[in-house]
Structure 1
């Protein structure tokens, strides 16, 4: 069953099934997690959800303090309610040894902390605080805590397990007046709670309390889901592609055998049935092995996803039998799909046609291949021209991808036309009998050479285009961001989520407000007058002469629109007065201050404009680059596997040629050197064609980005990474091809 012709299929199905099984387990495990402070609250009422699309991850519209208190009083009168907790998270970050403590940036009121004292007493005063025992600040001692207004000394009154910053309820109400969640302890009837709340909020119980997870965690889960979905899709595509190429190559090598079967009376249906049964059998055995590997892979990857910030802290694998069942069924199905086209083609082979197989290609490029290749090249050129003139990022990305795909198809179809020229150029320095043999073999089998180089072409083209697009776009946006700064230096956060008022008293202050229930980005500037607002040019159509908005503390106000906002490094739809933003958003932090003065408070760093431009979206860039590398590893692995499999089959079916070389006096070393040179030639041709194709597609993207940012943009490609991919393809090609040549023995 597992003949060498099916070995590549077996390996491909094992790997793809393992990836699918691991990804499905991780995907089903990506569930909203109930925050620790809500675990002991049986029912939680959440404020009305924002009307933004789900991918905006907008916070719910907050209740103002008076509304929240009134609702809490009414809920506290329900039977079974033992306590009512108003959740008020705010920015609070302890400072230790002169530096902000990383990862601990949120404080809570004592009753909302859901923490139990291990020593000391709860906080009651204005500057009392309970911290985690891991902070190692003795009870009664002072600790510096950063809030949005700046650093201050707080007295530690107690310790809890883990990491926490807990203050008195009155202090939490001052630092965060708006309320987005009210928790009920005890055993209240959810129906009675819904009757009291009505349309003023959403009642959450059980696992539904996972909706209370931080929006940052929800966004990480969404990013992780996208990564896993793309991984599954790419693994499935790679498997189908590899199985299809393996089956096509195998059928082509077995044309004589199929012709003999047809000659002795086998029907086309019987030929197809034989190939289908082999594919299903191989797929079933491979899927079993793949599912086991997938389970092990999922257990290894859960911690990696958290460390790579593709999943929030606390993410673990949950077992779902249906996910493993789906992964197992995917193996035979993908194997069958990959073999389907070859089976249909094999069934149409006639007995005499199969027995009249030419050993020398008389016409590498057919008329239909010329037409299809030139058409694809024309489409790629047109898409490249449109990409270079696109003024919108979305249009640029879509047409750049279309152009790249069209050019790759054109390169694969037209490769036999340029292979002879490349063979002569690349082998021109190689002299002697070995060089002559390799040169003539490649020129005699031009289509075979082009087909073997196709996986390398696809792998290198994909790697150069994707990594080049990401790196070039990142550099272009950094240039545009730097161009909007008119100072020589910029004050940026260092170990904190933003700058406090003490570090940057006049810095732009971002916040989120709500207009007609939708979250809108706003920016507070000291130059703006209270009671007025400016709108960005892109959002001008959404607002009229005035706008009614809800602030972060739930307070409603109508502002007069006085004009359009000037361009700046921090994008926002509305520009408000900075003092107004501070009054209504006590935890707002500035992302940067455009000044030449260094801060004297912890959590700030003075850098150059270029450094600011690079770090402004460092986390976004890191996530995008991590995602890119993951897809690149997947595609490169599939491509390298396809190269190894094709060369393995090609070399095995050419053992007769190697035996002839041995009979002519060649040593095993000389035969192996000939095969190694052939493999190197194939990988080099594929790399050159793939790299040239991707660079042509990238030129259009660079032109569009240059027009958007108003500066010259050069194409940036991480060539060391691409070189590593090419080297991996070459190593696998050599490992797959040379052993068969070494084992070739002259026939007696």
Structure 2
């Protein structure tokens, strides 16, 4: 009852917590809706397969389930024969996918799915597409192409394959995407099999069909039906989804952390301002548990209200987030929103939990208010730091410093995450330790000001900050978070932007680069035209291989076929140290390697060398890779600039290696910059709410003090300057603390990048962004203080006049 009454009568005190919770739940619900909607879906070309039979999957280097281990052609043939006897199976189709891209008038038809656009004609049975003209391919040089190409049966078309451009005759056109060859040609271009589809007869039950297929299959793979068939999707689709998920997870994490932070600081300030109220409750007999329940009840109510409103806002905002992600190319093109109940329920539950967690420390502080507090007119804090606050602050500080050290030595893929974690802990530590440092800092600053001006306003500001350090700390906390995140995120982007060119300058100086021009990669024909092969050139042929893992099972590794005679001895492999450790092998050992065609060979580990991204982590002879992966494409060819080719087949171009790498980096940097801008905006928006509310609430609570000063002869101008001066001092101190605690993780990241790039990488911060954030906090805080103080003075003037 007390909690409900307080919310009705003192709603202004809880406004920032309510708005922060609402905004946080809105962000979380919108991101959860997008996340739930971005789950893999069954590819349209496989919709006709009632059942998909898939091989077992391998684990990647991080221990996550990854690529399917392909069956060899012989093994797939045997499995298909066994499945043909399953009752209800109208057709059993061995599905193959490989690179195929048409050239029209010598220009490649751009298709981001070209890497998997080629199939055998039998796979057309798994699709909803049908022939609209011509006939199925019957000869090895026949193809069926999409009708959208504008070709008709009998036309000649150039299809770019991994070996190079080849002329085919159009035997028919289809009312859907992809290019279909005879099954014999498909088996040559993609001998390994990763899926066998079963088309069900009209009277067959899917569950019965799947059970029978699983019995026939045994331990050779697994059966997928329904939504589980989405496990087989093109790599570019998975890549986009992963990028989008990383983005929305980052948004949710920042939103969750900042919401807890803002709600916690708001309740801390609310409790500090209500000490006399708490003391009165204790005098009239309220137990400590009742006071705690009152504070937590207020928080739970705010969390529930904010959660319900935020979930509704998040549902409305989700379509806008979807459009934004699609414009950034971080979601598959077929991505559609699906509103389900669980994201909204989870978001509301998170809102309640976040509010309660944020108020937990304040509830503990409320129970320690002595009854005598009600009899004291002075609001001097006797113990701004409790033992629990000291412990939490030291734990956060120790964890932040430890994570800062780890940032300098972390792996490249995890360095940014470790730096963000370190900064979060240090921001938390700074907020918890603020009552200890704000007093001395304010005293020093005000003394310097007093040496030049001994005005009453200066003395009052010093007194307020010295006696109300906990209130000042709660007010400064959101500023610490806002400035800290602005420094951190802009610093990460700027430092990495400075490190990347330095690294590329070392690796690519004096090299020319042959890159795809509208194609998914470079064919062997283009590679031959570049003259790649001698030392000084690089033309890696990427593939994936499957090897027994150190902990059992199978591990998939990114491998590369090299022309460099230093690493291309027949029957050998060269590994870097981390890959050798992952696979538990040493130089001179023999290991079994399964290739993309499902066949296995034994290779000798001839060398284990330090990490070199230019060489590759698992290097094999290029001829060996091509033998087992007929559809692999070369990503790029590096040649000395003075030996750059002057004529290339269509679908490739020559670039200055360094300039191209920078341009390519800028494409990725666009997403990174956008992410940083969104996260900074979120952090500042959250903190702005708390700053405005904190200043307004603090000024409102001190109205009696303002009246006393007014009656003592203080002018409106003096009172206004005192309040605004105190506010400005708190904001600037919070900004300084936010800057101080986030610089160490950035320095550690710069040190790690220096080690990786073997160049000197310094600290880079976007100072304009930081100054804008500080200025925004300062304007919001002083404006809120001025408005409340002015209203208080007018109200008192009206009463006196009456």
Normalised to the residue count of structure 2, the TM-score between the two structures is 0.81
Q: Is the 8 A contact 2:442 2:462 kept in 1?
A: no
Cα displacement (A) at 1:440: 7.2
- Is 1:712 the counterpart of 2:721? The answer is no
SS in structure 1 of the partner of residue 228 of structure 2 = helix
1:533 aligns with 2:594: no
Say if 1:242 and 1:574 are closer, same or farther in 2 by CA, change over 3 A.
closer
Cα distance change of structure 1 residues 502 and 51 upon mapping to structure 2, 3 Å threshold: same
Structure 1: how far apart are the matches of 2:61 and 2:340? 29
Cα separation, 2, equivalents of 1:203 and 1:370: 56
2:727 maps to 1:650: no
Aligned to 2:785: 737
Matched residue SS, 1:575: strand
**Alignment partners' CA distance in 2, 1:47 and 1:545:** 28
After superposition, the Cα gap between the structure-2 partners of 1:242 and 1:376, relative to the gap in structure 1 and judged at 3 Å, is closer
Q: Is the 8 A contact 1:148 1:589 kept in 2?
A: yes
Q: Is the 8 A contact 1:57 1:215 kept in 2?
A: no
Shift of the 385–243 alpha-carbon distance from structure 1 to 2, 3 Å rule, reads closer
Paired residues of 1:532 and 1:559 also in contact (CA < 8 A): yes
C-alpha distance after superposition, 1:496-526 (max 9, x if no partner) = 4332223323311111112233222221112
Aligned 8 A contact 1:287 1:331 in 2: yes
Q: In the alignment, what sits opposite 2:596?
A: 552
Classify 1:645/1:508 alpha carbon distance in 2 versus 1 (closer, same or farther; 3 Å): same
**Alpha-carbon shift at residue 462 of structure 1 (Å):** 2.9
Q: How does 1:79-158 map to 2 (within 5 A)?
A: 79-95=87-103, 98=107, 100-105=109-114, 106-107=116-117, 108-113=119-124, 114=127, 115-137=129-151, 140-158=154-172
Deviation at 1:552, TM superposition (A): 0.9
The separation in 1 between residues aligned to 2:526 and 2:452, in whole angstroms, is: 65
Is 2:300 the counterpart of 1:280?
yes
In 1: Cα distance, 2:327 partner to 2:29 partner: 21
From the superposition, tell whether residues 14 and 445 of structure 1 become closer, same or farther in structure 2 (CA, over 3 Å): same
Give the superposed CA RMSD: 3.9
Structure 1 residues 603 and 655, CA, compared in 2 at 3 Å: closer, same or farther? farther
Structure 1 residues 219 and 258, CA gap change in structure 2 (3 angstroms)? same
Using the TM superposition, give the Cα deviation of residue 460 of structure 1 relative to its aligned residue in structure 2, in angstroms.
Answer: 1.8
Equivalence for 2:368: 348
Tell me, in whole angstroms, the C-alpha distance in 2 between the residues paired with 1:183 and 1:426. Answer: 80
Pick one of 476, 488, 494 that aligns with 2:511: 488
Aligned to 2:551: none
Structure 1 window deviating more from structure 2 (707-716 vs 561-570): it is 561-570
Q: Flag structure 1 segments of 5+ consecutive residues without an equivalent.
A: none
CA 1:607–1:456 in 2, change beyond 3 Å: closer, same or farther? farther
Equivalent residue for 1:416, pick from 436, 439, 442: 439
Structure 1 residue 459: Cα displacement? 2.3
Q: 1:402 to 1:565 in 2, by over 3 A?
A: closer
Structure 2 unaligned spans of 5+: 1-6, 533-538, 549-553
Deviations 1:647-676 (A, max 9, x none): 2212322344556777768568x8767655
Cα distance in 2, alignment partners of residues 617 and 29 from structure 1? 29
Q: 2:192 aligns with which of 164, 174, 178?
A: 178
1:683 aligned counterpart, secondary structure: helix
Alpha-carbon offset, residue 296 of structure 1: 1.4
Aligned with 1:41: secondary structure?
A: coil
1:133-152 Cα distance to aligned partner (Å, 9 max, x none): 44445665554433222334
1:462 and 2:485 correspond:
yes
- Post-superposition shift, 1:4? 0.9
- Is 597-606 or 243-252 further displaced after alignment? 597-606
Matched-pair contact (CA < 8 Å) for 1:459–1:639: yes
Distance 2:63 2:235 in 1: 10
* Structure-1 residue corresponding to 2:535: none
Question: Are the aligned partners of 1:244 and 1:338 in contact in 2 as well (CA < 8 Å)?
Answer: yes
Where 1:145 maps in the other structure, the secondary structure is strand
Match of 2:40 in 1: 32
**Does 1:61 find its partner at 2:88?**
no
2:227 aligned with 1:207 = yes
Aligned partner of 2:686 among 638, 654, 666: 638
For these two proteins, the number of residue pairs brought into alignment is 746
Distance in 2 (alpha carbons) for counterparts of 1:16 and 1:249: 20
Tell me, in whole angstroms, the C-alpha distance in 1 between the residues paired with 2:719 and 2:108.
65
Give SS of 2:68's match: coil
Q: Does 1:47 align with 2:61?
A: no
The equivalent residue for 1:520 is 557
Shift of 1:425: 6.9
In the other structure, the counterpart of 2:271 is 251
The CA distance in 2 between the partners of 1:678 and 1:530, in whole Å, is: 76
Residues 457 and 686, structure 1, Cα contact 8 Å, conserved in 2: yes
Structure 1 residue 549: deviation in Å? Answer: 1.4
Indicate yes or no: 2:341 matched with 1:304: no
CA distance in 2, matches of 1:300, 1:89: 35
Q: Could you give the per-residue CA deviations for residues 104-137 of structure 1, whole angstroms, max 9, x where no partner exists?
A: 4132223324222334443444444433344445
SS in 1 for 2:144: strand
